[in-house]
Every structure is written in C-alpha cells, then in structure tokens.
Amino acid sequence: MAPVAVIDIGTNTTRLLVAERDQGGDLVELERRTIITRLGQGVDATGRLADQAMDRVSEAIASYREIIDRVGAERIVAVATSAMRDAENGPDFREYLNKRFGVDARTISGDEEARLTFLGATAGRNDDRESVVIDIGGGSTEYVVGRPGEDPSFHTSTQMGSVRHTERFLKNDPPETEELQALAEDVRSIVPDVRAEHAIAVAGTATSLAAIDGAEEVHGYRLTLGACERITAMLAAMPLEDRKAVKGLHPDRAPTIVAGAVILTESVRTLSLDEVEISDRDILHGAATSA
C-alpha cells in the first residue's frame, strides 16, 4: 500500500507523519517532523491568525510538501485544530494552503480531535485497562476515556492549552507565585470528573517533561506525579532564557512549557493518579490509521 502523509496544523506546532502499513497491517513510520510554528499566537485575544504566524506555518508546509513528494505519498490527510477553529480568518488561511500547496486542511471539531488522538495513542496496545488519554495542545486539551480497541466511553475538548493559558495567566518572567496559583486553580476547575485505571499523555508538553526527567526512550516512559511537580517548579523558577537551555527541552517550547507542565501536573493530580505513561503516538497516527 502506498504511503499516506498526515499533516497536523496545531496551535503551537505543525507536524508531519508519512507512514505505510506493513504486511501485518501495522503503521510503519517513514518520515516524522515537528516544527514549532505558534499559529495560535494572539488568537485568544484577537480572534484572528496573525500574519507572521501564518507565514511560519506556510514555510513549514512548503518543506513538508517537498518531503511528501520525495517519499511518494499518494494521499495527504491534513487536519487543523484549535487555533484554526477559533480564528475568524481560519477559513481564508485554509483556502490559501490548498491553493498554494495542494493541502486541503480539514478543520476538525474538538470531539473528532479527541477521537483520533485516542485511536492513535491506544493502537497496538496489549493493555486492556480503562485509560484516560490526555492531549495537551497549544489551544485546547482533550481528555478521552476508554479501552484500547473500543470506542471511547467519554471524551471532551476543553478551551485550555499551553499557548492559551500562557497568554491568559503568565505575564511575568519568571511567572509570579500568584500567577501560577491562578493557573493551577483554573486547570483544576476544567479537568473533567472522570476515573480511569491508567493515564496516557501525548503531545509536546508530555514528551518534553519525560525528556527533561531523563527518559532515554520517551515512548512508554512512566512519569510520576512527583516528577511532574519537581520539573514544573524548576521550570517556573527560571527566566525564559534559562529555560531555553534546559536539557531535553526544545528551545522553541520554552515560552509555553510552564503552562503546559502545570496543566499536566494538575490533570494527573485531579484524576487521582500517581503517574502517567507518555506516548509519542497521537492524532497523527490516529488520522493515518483512519485514512
């Protein structure tokens, strides 16, 4: 079967997965790239995508189009999430991307984002425990509960994300204690009242915290609540320039990682769990599986 390319145009990152199925039907990654494009910059305040942000995404997709053509992927699936959903000029930008790159980005609902993320995060797992998948994005965070191989029993998409909550709560560098407390309180008020035996966290905040904690292999790493608390406190005490130098953290994630780390920490705490498993499989794999 010919390779399929999936592009995820998120609030903080624009990502690419090119994959094909092996003889057993499992997805095999051929190419995977992530560029931090910050499409959601200012959307929460203005309701519009900024010109500079759209330029960054366009540059990323131009480079991805070259990879897609080189690998020979016959189908491109592109999804756009929170920033594109919320922005008044989102439809115009989608039309531009289609005309310039032949990338027909579908703006998906929060519910569809949650479904695809759960599918990607739980595919191929032998663990049949009921799990809650936590997907912390730049503009939204999804919580999905279910068992691998089954339709989710619960899902919700919240207006909470690392970019959105940095802009809403963290005005100082480093953030002040009162700002962090207000952020944490808001997160706790948003985390859904669900119970699961196990938690899986996907996306850049989760994988970054695992790398900072010293994970040699991020996928499958178990991050304890205590480690989340320790890393969050360390990052929150640093000015931005020092955060950029933290081992395991991509410098471009430094401006929003504190809010993301608070969201993950308070999510695990509010869900009454002691640890969270980190997965590098998410909406990209879910969309590729559904293609």
Tell me which of 20-29, 54-63, 191-200 is least confident: 20-29
Give yes or no for residue 171 having a pLDDT over 90.
yes
**pLDDT value at residue 1:** 65
Average pLDDT taken over every residue of the chain: 94
Tell me which of 15-19, 121-125, 127-131, 185-189 is least confident: 121-125
pTM strictly above 0.75: yes
**pLDDT value at residue 111:** 85
Measured distance CA(261)–CA(264) in Å, rounded: 5
Q: What is the pLDDT of residues 204-240, one digit of tens each?
A: 999 999 999 999 999 999 999 999 999 999 999 999 9
| C-alpha closest to that of 198 among 282, 280, 122 | 122
For residues 269-286, average pLDDT: 94
**pLDDT value at residue 249:** 97
* pLDDT > 70: percent of the chain: 99
Beta bridge partners of 76: 5
Measured distance CA(64)–CA(55) in Å, rounded: 14
- Would you place residue 262 in the very low, low, confident or very high pLDDT band (cuts 50, 70, 90)? very high
User: Would the CATH topology of 4-108 be identical to that of 126-278?
Assistant: yes
Give yes or no for residue 291 having a pLDDT over 90.
no
Outline where DSSP puts E strands in 121-267. Answer: 131-136, 141-146, 154-158, 198-202, 222-224
Q: What is the pLDDT of residues 68-89, one digit of tens each?
A: 999 999 899 999 988 999 999 9
Asked if the 4-108 domain carries CATH number 3.30.420.40, the reply is: yes
**pLDDT value at residue 143:** 95
Asked if the 126-278 domain carries CATH number 3.30.420.150, the reply is: yes
User: Domain limits of the chain?
Assistant: 4-108, 126-278
Integer CA distances (angstroms), 167 to 50, 136, 164, 233, 278, in order:
15, 15, 5, 19, 26
Give yes or no for residue 23 having a pLDDT over 80.
no
Tell me which of 36-40, 151-155, 259-263 is least confident: 151-155
